[in-house]
């Protein structure tokens, strides 16, 4: 907590006391604690003249949300992905001892507003009047609970006293406070938001599957850009997103690929923001891995939403047990109804995801089974522990090892992250001891030392590459094919040449799976 001390020396008293030589009284000060005024006034009438800033997901998600908000009458702008300059600003204006995502995201907003003031000539008053920032929040238990106060503290110190930061409580659902009038968190808003999240997820996932195998470098990104425009237009004009995704699939199908390239598959796990951001906050690791010849298996935001639903289900069941034990009244008087609604929410979300996935060509993709993840990780990291990714990181590593899902599991852990440090540095050591087949690397993202991080990743990739090559050779052996025979067979099999077709999982590597499918 930041404290402003104003030392008001009381001359008269001091004089008196200095005459008395009273050291306690001489040091008498008047302390004024810093008070977070928490300005939130954003009315419906201000919507037309106020720009709603937001950001923090992947670039594609942010662009789709921008279009979705525009369709609902907001002047919205997604902030660019935070870079190292944002980190420096976060460190300059933020409190000490924060986790790295706090510095990056807080600094990113300060950097954007400072550019408006210093480069575009807007006054601070004008910026405070014409812009608001919306962000997700929670009550903790990690530093996520303090983000919103950090934003306001840094903004005040950077000269934007009174800037409005609206909190989109990820645990609060529709129960919103004073922001309601300007930022109407209605069911229509949430439907739009989910459309953006799921559409962004499926396009990102399909892109990561195709890009490593493209024949012409850059062709996947060029098509994904067209897809972004198609889906954003559909959202902006209230047209069907499913139809737009079908058009995306047709575009994606034109990309020329070669699946018979044995590439190490790298599963990226870790703290939510660090593994999602595509900027300096994760050293742009996704792109680095692809440049090094790897295929990335990313985590989707839909999975995070499923985890939030799982958390609510788990807590409701625990609360039901409490009543039976001590006979006290429960906070939630109708837990069965709540459980029913949560189950319904999970089913709707899953079906929605698979509908969009089918439309975009994300075939044979399976959302994680939250109950299964919870069960296998509970002995190592109890389900009651929350903050960050909770037990999910542990469960994902175990699943990766037992189901042979990746040649390398890379955990991105932000500097100063409480939950992720406990998991990556502590619990995962036990998991790798119990599951020796797991090739696991945890890297800490502090914003500097990128060369050191890249070098560690390259070392882990060396082993992953060898595993992928050996797996591919085994696949050829078992199917009695060689490279040429496999290529000839592939030339005749239009299904496997189709970029949106993904060979069924048998081993970790996509090329080896393609060989098994050819045979």
If binding is defined by CB under 6 A, does position 61 make contact with ligand SF4?
A: no
Which C-beta is closer to ligand SF4: that of 273 or that of 440? 273
The residue within the footprint of ligand SF4, chosen from 50, 299, 420, 510 (CB under 6 A), is: 420
Which C-beta is closer to ligand SF4: that of 138 or that of 224? 138
Dihedral sign of CA atoms 233, 83, 394, 170 in order: negative
Q: Quick one: CA torsion of 340, 345, 351, 353, rounded to 10 degrees?
A: -160
The residue within the footprint of ligand SF4, chosen from 99, 148, 309, 392 (CB under 6 A), is: 99
Which C-beta is closer to ligand SF4: that of 101 or that of 509? 101
Which C-beta is closer to ligand SF4: that of 94 or that of 414? 414
- Mask 132-171, x = binds ligand SF4 (CB under 6 A)? ----------xxx---------------------------
The closest alpha carbon to 378, from 367, 389, 401, 394, belongs to 394
Q: What count of residues does the chain have?
A: 519
Are the beta carbons of 194 and 349 closer than 8 angstroms?
A: yes
Which C-beta is closer to ligand SF4: that of 103 or that of 356? 103
Q: Can you tell me the distance from the alpha carbon of 166 to that of 45, in angstroms, rounded to the nearest whole number?
A: 16
The residue within the footprint of ligand SF4, chosen from 207, 414, 447, 499 (CB under 6 A), is: 414
Which C-beta is closer to ligand SF4: that of 388 or that of 499? 388
If binding is defined by CB under 6 A, does position 271 make contact with ligand SF4?
A: yes
Dihedral sign of CA atoms 102, 105, 107, 109 in order: negative
* Binding residue count for ligand SF4, defined by CB under 6 A: 14
Least Cβ distance, residue 389 to ligand SF4 (angstroms): 7
Which C-beta is closer to ligand SF4: that of 107 or that of 387? 387
Dihedral sign of CA atoms 252, 254, 256, 261 in order: positive
Task: Please give the structure tokens belonging to residue 336.
Answer: 């069965």
Least Cβ distance, residue 138 to ligand SF4 (angstroms): 9
Intra-chain end-to-end CA distance of the chain, in Å: 64
Q: How many CB atoms lie within 10 A of CB 324?
A: 7
Least Cβ distance, residue 108 to ligand SF4 (angstroms): 15
Query: Which 365-404 residues touch ligand SF4, going by CB under 6 A?
Result: 387-388
Residues 6+ apart with CB under 8 A from 212: 261, 263, 290, 293, 294, 295, 296
Which C-beta is closer to ligand SF4: that of 249 or that of 413? 413
The residue within the footprint of ligand SF4, chosen from 55, 56, 390, 419 (CB under 6 A), is: 419
Least Cβ distance, residue 102 to ligand SF4 (angstroms): 6
Which region among 13-21, 114-122, 169-177, 414-422 touches ligand SF4 (by CB under 6 A)?
Answer: 414-422
If binding is defined by CB under 6 A, does position 91 make contact with ligand SF4?
A: no
- Mask 210-249, x = binds ligand SF4 (CB under 6 A)? ----------------------------------------
Least Cβ distance, residue 277 to ligand SF4 (angstroms): 11
For residue 388, is it left (φ>0), alpha (ψ between -120 and 50) or beta? left
Least Cβ distance, residue 273 to ligand SF4 (angstroms): 6
Which C-beta is closer to ligand SF4: that of 15 or that of 425? 425
Which region among 80-88, 400-408, 413-421, 423-431 touches ligand SF4 (by CB under 6 A)?
Answer: 413-421
Which C-beta is closer to ligand SF4: that of 140 or that of 240? 140
Residues 6+ apart with CB under 8 A from 395: 372, 373, 374, 376, 377
Which C-beta is closer to ligand SF4: that of 107 or that of 361? 107
Q: Can you tell me the distance from the alpha carbon of 82 to that of 361, in angstroms, rounded to the nearest whole number?
A: 30
Which C-beta is closer to ligand SF4: that of 84 or that of 498? 84
Q: How many CB atoms lie within 10 A of CB 85?
A: 12
The residue within the footprint of ligand SF4, chosen from 82, 101, 137, 368 (CB under 6 A), is: 101
Least Cβ distance, residue 413 to ligand SF4 (angstroms): 8
- Mask 341-360, x = binds ligand SF4 (CB under 6 A)? --------------------
Q: Which residues of 205-242 are buried (b: 16+ CB within 10 A; e: fewer)?
A: bbbbbbbbbbeeeebbeebbeebbebbbebbeeeeebb
Q: Can you tell me the distance from the alpha carbon of 101 to that of 281, in angstroms, rounded to the nearest whole number?
A: 7
Q: Count, in order, helices (H) and strands (E) of the chain.
A: 22, 10
Q: Given the DSSP bridges, would you call strands 75-78 and 51-54 parallel, antiparallel or unpaired?
A: parallel
Q: Can you tell me the distance from the alpha carbon of 377 to that of 234, in angstroms, rounded to the nearest whole number?
A: 40
Angle at 151 between CA 149 and CA 152, to 5 degrees: 65
The residue within the footprint of ligand SF4, chosen from 417, 427, 441, 511 (CB under 6 A), is: 417
Least Cβ distance, residue 197 to ligand SF4 (angstroms): 19
DSSP for 431-483, please give it.
Answer: HHHH-TT--EEEEEE-SS-HHHHHHHHHHHHHHHHHHHHHHHHHHHHHTT--H
Binding site for ligand SF4 (CB under 6 A): 99, 101, 142-144, 271, 273, 387-388, 414, 417-420
């Amino acid at each position: 907590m930041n404290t402003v001390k104003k030392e008001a020396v009381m001359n008269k008293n001091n004089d008196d006391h200095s005459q008395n030589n009273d050291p306690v009284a001489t040091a008498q000060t008047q302390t004024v604690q810093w008070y977070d005024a928490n300005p939130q006034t954003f009315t419906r009438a201000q919507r037309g003249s106020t720009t709603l800033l937001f950001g923090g997901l992947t670039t594609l998600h942010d662009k789709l949300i921008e279009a979705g908000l525009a369709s609902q009458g907001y002047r919205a702008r997604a902030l660019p992905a935070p870079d190292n300059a944002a980190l420096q600003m976060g460190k300059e204006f933020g409190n000490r001892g924060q986790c790295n995502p706090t510095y990056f995201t807080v600094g990113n907003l300060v950097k954007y507003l400072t550019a408006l003031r210093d480069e575009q000539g807007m006054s601070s008053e004008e910026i405070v009047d014409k812009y608001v920032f919306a962000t997700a929040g929670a009550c903790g238990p990690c530093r996520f609970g303090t983000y919103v106060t950090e934003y306001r503290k840094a903004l005040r110190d950077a000269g934007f006293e009174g800037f409005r930061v609206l909190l989109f409580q990820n645990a609060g659902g529709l129960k919103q406070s004073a922001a309601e009038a300007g930022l109407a968190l209605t069911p229509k808003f949430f439907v739009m938001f989910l459309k953006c999240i799921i559409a962004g997820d499926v396009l990102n996932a399909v892109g990561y599957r195709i890009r490593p195998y493209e024949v012409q470098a850059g062709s996947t990104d060029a098509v994904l850009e067209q897809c972004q425009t198609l889906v954003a237009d559909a959202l902006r004009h209230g047209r069907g997103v499913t139809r737009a995704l079908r058009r995306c699939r047709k575009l994606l199908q034109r990309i020329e690929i070669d699946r018979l390239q044995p590439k190490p598959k790298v599963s990226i796990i870790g703290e939510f923001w660090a593994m999602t951001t595509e900027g300096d906050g994760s050293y742009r690791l996704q792109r680095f891995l692809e440049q090094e010849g790897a295929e990335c298996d990313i985590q989707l935001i839909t999975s995070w939403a499923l985890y939030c639903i799982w958390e609510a289900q788990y807590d409701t069941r625990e609360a039901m047990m409490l009543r039976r034990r001590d006979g006290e009244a429960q906070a939630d008087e109708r837990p069965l109804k709540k459980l029913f609604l949560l189950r319904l929410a999970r089913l709707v979300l899953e079906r929605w995801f698979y509908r969009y996935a089918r439309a975009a060509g994300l075939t044979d993709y399976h959302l994680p089974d939250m109950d299964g993840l919870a069960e296998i990780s509970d002995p190592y990291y109890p389900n009651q522990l929350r903050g960050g990714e909770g037990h999910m990181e542990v469960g994902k590593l175990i699943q990766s090892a037992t189901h042979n899902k990746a040649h390398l599991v890379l955990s991105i852990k932000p500097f100063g992250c409480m939950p992720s440090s406990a998991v990556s540095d502590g619990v995962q050591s036990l998991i790798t001891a119990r599951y020796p087949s797991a090739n696991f690397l945890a890297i800490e993202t502090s914003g500097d030392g990128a060369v050191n991080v890249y070098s560690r990743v390259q070392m882990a990739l060396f082993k992953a590459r060898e595993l992928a090559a050996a797996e591919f050779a085994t696949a050829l052996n078992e199917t009695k094919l060689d490279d040429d025979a496999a290529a000839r067979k592939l030339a005749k099999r239009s299904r496997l040449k189709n970029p949106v077709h993904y060979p069924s999982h048998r081993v970790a590597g996509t090329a080896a799976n393609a060989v098994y499918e050819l045979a």
